[in-house]
Amino acid sequence: MARTILVTGAAGFIGAALSKRLLLQGDRVVGIDNLNDYYHPALKLARIREIEALTGDASWRFERLSLEDGDALKMLFASEAPQVVVNLAAQAGVRYSLENPLAYIQSNILGFAQVLECCRNFDIKNLIYASSSSVYGGNKNLPFNEQQPVNHPVSFYAATKKSNELMAHSYSHLYGIPSTGLRFFTVYGPWGRPDMAPMLFARAILTGKPIKVFNHGKMQRDFTYIDDIIEGVVRCIDKPATTNQEFDALNPEPATAASPHRLFNIGNSNPVNLLQFIEILEHELGRKAVKIFEPMPSGDVVSTAADTQALEKWIQFKPSVSIEDGVHHFAQWYQQFRELNDFI
């Protein structure tokens, strides 16, 4: 019998890709998204059309809904009775959190609290939720692993993501909700967010406009291809978090608990220099970028790199798509999609 899986942020980059994968493998998906204008809603609607093209039956339902609307969310849980929830909805963006921090309180804190309340009241069997590599903040011990402390966020976005981890842990402890937090590392690929470097750079290169290269190019990111992210999420859906039977309260591990709550990094584990990434993208687009070198912006970090040994042990999977292959697929999609749409 098909599972019903509720995906929040279903019109977003990761949410739409996950929804398509789940539908293709025979699950029933209930997607919700508020379709806000943080970036052009037309891209979100185009993703929804891609999902709808996969199914003409009742295996897909989409509702325009904000997580902060607790009453509407409860009605949806009651009518659809999902067994699994994947919370990908959030106010995204490190730099935007400097401009509008209250938006992050509304979506990432209040919204996630409403999701947790529904999981508690409707006996959800598995909760997967998006965290971020940003929680590692000013930590310079690379690669980041889940046993490292995350007590020094350098952006408000990161602070809300750490808050989500603490909130999920407490609900898991109090109500026994199996919860898995996934710390995503710089996700990219077709249908990506237009405020992220791949889309910003591709548009600028193709239109001959300059791109901003922060910290004078001396940055590294653990770019992780979207298909690898989705595979990891799906495997975590199939394997709910369990209690760590060896949990030692006198020497507690940060990423497991005496309750069914676990935290995992999910990244490629091969950080790429920003200038190298630009070179690969230039090659795929057949044009050179006009670069403007700028200092490091507030709230950003110099390098990220994921230690994914814990995830690999848990679900027998390690992200493996190379940066060359990933950028190739992204560039092909971007050029084809942009020919038909002028909003990216």
Pair 179, 115: CB distance under 8 Å? no
* DSSP letter string, 258-318: SSSEEEEEES-S--EEHHHHHHHHHHHHTS--EEEEEPPPTT--SB--B--HHHHHHHS--
pLDDT number for residue 111:
97
Averaged pLDDT in 10-residue chunks for the chain of 344 residues: 93 98 96 94 96 87 96 98 97 85 94 98 97 94 96 93 98 98 98 95 96 93 98 98 95 95 98 97 98 90 96 97 98 95 87
pLDDT number for residue 261:
98
pLDDT number for residue 31:
98
| pLDDT tens digits along 248-283 | 999 999 999 999 999 999 999 999 999 999 999 999
Pair 90, 9: CB distance under 8 Å? yes
pLDDT number for residue 344:
87
- Does the active-site annotation cover 334? no
The one catalytic residue among 38, 96, 157, 334: 157
| pLDDT tens digits along 63-80 | 999 999 999 999 999 999
pLDDT number for residue 43:
96
pLDDT number for residue 194:
94
pLDDT number for residue 169:
98
Domains of the chain in sequence order: 4-185+224-267+306-320 (3.40.50.720)
pTM of the full structure? 0.97
Judged by DSSP in three states, 28 sits in strand
Q: What's the 3-state SS for 104-140?
A: HHHHHHHHHHHHHHHHHHCCCCEEEEEEEHHHHCCCC
pLDDT number for residue 317:
98
How many C-beta neighbours within 10 Å does residue 99 have? 8
- One-letter identity of residue 96: Y
